[in-house]
Each structure stands twice: as C-alpha cells, then as structure tokens.
Amino acid sequence: MHLKNLRLIHFKNYAQAELTFSPEINCFLGNNGSGKTNLLDAIHYLCLTKSAFNPVDLQNIQHQKDFFTLIGNFELKGKELEIKCILEAKKKKQIFNSGKAYEKMSEHVGLLPVVLIAPDDTALIKGGSEERRKFFDSLLSQLDRNYLAHLVRYQHFLKQRNALIKKFAERDRYDTSLLEPYDQEIVTLSKKIFTQRKNFAEQFKPILLHHYGEISGQREAIDIRYESQCNRDDFEKEFYQSLKKDLILKRTNMGIHKDDFVFEIDDFPLKKFGSQGQQKSFLIALKLAQFQVFKEKKETKPLLLLDDIFDKLDDFRISKLMELVAHHEFGQLFITDARPERTRKILQDIDADIAYYEIEKGEIQKKNN
C-alpha cells in the first residue's frame, strides 16, 4: 500500500498544495511552524477520518476560510483508490471513496492502516489511562469493525446514561426504571469489549517484548498488564451497586471506560521508574509492534509517519530504526525534520527511492536527492 499523491485546499496553513510521493521514503524538511506536521496530519485524516493532533475538525480549516478539502490517491493491493475528505463549516464532514460517500465514518476506518510516531507519544506513558485506552482502541478499531461498532455503541449509551444521572441529581430524585435500558447495554457491551481487549493484549504482548529487546539490546524486562473492572466475577453485581456513588459523582463509575493498560519495567511502573531512554525505547517498540500487527492482519504494510523523531531519539535508537528501514521492513515512510542536513546524513546510506520536500510557510518545493 502507498499514497501516490496528495492535494490540500484550505487545510491548516495551506491555501493549496499538491504533492506526488515516492513509494518508499518521503521527507518534509523545514523550520518549526512551517507546516511539515500538517502534511502528516492530512495523510492521517485520509486514513482515519480525523486529525492526529486536533480533535476539533473546524480548527483544522485555514484561518478565515469556511472549508477544507483533502484528496489522496492510494494504491492498495493493486487497486487504485481516491479518498476525499471535505469539511464545511456548519455541515457534516464527508469522506468519499472513489467518488462514493460513506454513510458512516466508521465504514472507512481500517481500510488504510497507518502508524504515527510523534513527540506527543510520551503521553502514552506519562499520561492517564485514557491515553492508553485511546491507543489500543484506535489499533483495535482498525483491525476489527465489530470492535469499533461495539465501542461506538458503548460510548453512545454511556453518554446517555451520564446525562440522565445528571438530570436525577438536578431534580434530587431518580427512577431506576429509566436507567435500566442503559444499564443493560453498558454491562453487556463492557463484557464484549473486555473480552476483545483481553484477547488482543495477550497476542500483542510477545510482539511488544520482541521489539523492545531489539531496540534496547535486551537490557531489562518489560511487561504490559491489562486491568479492567470486568475481570471481576461479580462485575455486573458491582455495577448495579455503584448507582449511589454514580448519583453522588454525577457519572458512571463502572465499565470498560475505566480500563487501563499498565506498562512495567523490571516489575515496576515504567511511568515512575523508567529512565528517559527506557521510556523512548518502549514507545518505539509499542509503535513497531502496532506496525507488525497491521502488516500481518491486513496483509499489507501500513503507512509509517515519523514526526520530528530524530530530535527526540539518541544515535543508538536512530541507528536501530534505520536498520529496519535499510532492510525494507517498512513500506512507505513519511518523515519530518527541522534540520535537513541531519535527515540527509541519516538516510545517505539507505538504498531506497527518497524524495525530499523543503517547506516554508505553507509553500512546498521538491528537491533532488
């Protein structure tokens, strides 16, 4: 799979831009704030129907404009696809596949697998459980449409139940019969999603351990533990017993939205006891494991987006990553860097078709190797 070309209209800092890509390595080079990461985000939009960096769609429209359009032509398993994303102010976002509009955004998710490695990934380790759930939910949603359907349905009923609980709090009285339909759905979906997450975590763990060992040189042992209230035998009973607490706190306190994926190093929390280098190694291993899972399950190499990672990694970890590039372990790569000479030096011995793009204030120029 690869992205052949990309067109942007009124997207972030780009009034208009058109790019044709190498099927192997593409480098976006320029000063910070020039628009390099915005190009990666445009690719992310076309693959996953949303931004990787700003969840508010309207804020991705160029300043003082009222729409954006993204168009990308992909080759997937020998088939040509044109993916178009259009967002107009006060209108619903639309995604088109070869001229045909999707009824639901979820129908597109998983068609074009993509892996992003970015500086903000540190939130996966240092942030709260929501960051880690989002990572695994995104991964699973690209692999399994049933999982995505269950997750969307769960989030809908959770939102409705929380709104009803807040109304009860405002009126200072409640009616359990009104909650019952939401309770049944949340309990049932929690059990289904728990099973899907648990099975996936068991399959994902050995792949993660392998990649961490490769990157770190087998220096220490890591682990990943999936924690969930649903793992308790009396989960359903506890869910119904938690109503009093829900009413006091005005939100649902039991369910898979409380799950966590705990990262450990030598039996201690990575968040507290891992060095900066160990945390970086873990993050890269996490994303490489994601890449491998997509490659095996989707039977195609996903797009790999590397945002400003040369600034964040030491020479040892960069060399390990470039070994994989040199051995053509990846498919199409997109790399951003604020220091053009560094990227050229790192890639100078890589036998691949490399395209360089110099970017300045939303203007793009393709340069020779």
Q: Which phi and psi angles does 348 have, rounded to 5°?
A: -60, -30
DSSP bridge pairs for 87: 68
Contacts of 278 (CB under 8 A, 6+ apart): 216, 220, 265, 270
Does 60 count as an annotated binding residue?
no
Q: How many helices (H) and strands (E) does the chain have?
A: 11, 15
* Complete DSSP assignment for 289-304: HHHHHHHHHHSSPPEE
DSSP bridge pairs for 26: 334, 355
Does 128 count as an annotated binding residue?
no
Report how far apart, in Å, the C-alpha atoms of 100 and of each of 85, 149, 315 are: 11, 21, 46
Does 37 count as an annotated binding residue?
yes
Q: Which two tokens stand for residue 340?
A: 């053009």
Does 22 count as an annotated binding residue?
no
Say how far residue 344 (Cα) sits from the centre of its chain: 28
Does 336 count as an annotated binding residue?
no
CA 100 to CA 82: how far, in whole Å?
A: 10
- E strand or H helix at 156: helix 145-171
CA-based torsion, 129, 134, 139, 143: positive or negative = positive
Query: Kind of pairing, strands 354-360 and 25-29?
Result: parallel
Does 33 count as an annotated binding residue?
yes
Closest among 353, 329, 169, 170 to 245, alpha carbons compared: 169
Does 34 count as an annotated binding residue?
yes
Residues annotated within a binding site for ATP: 30-37
Residues annotated within a binding site: 30-37
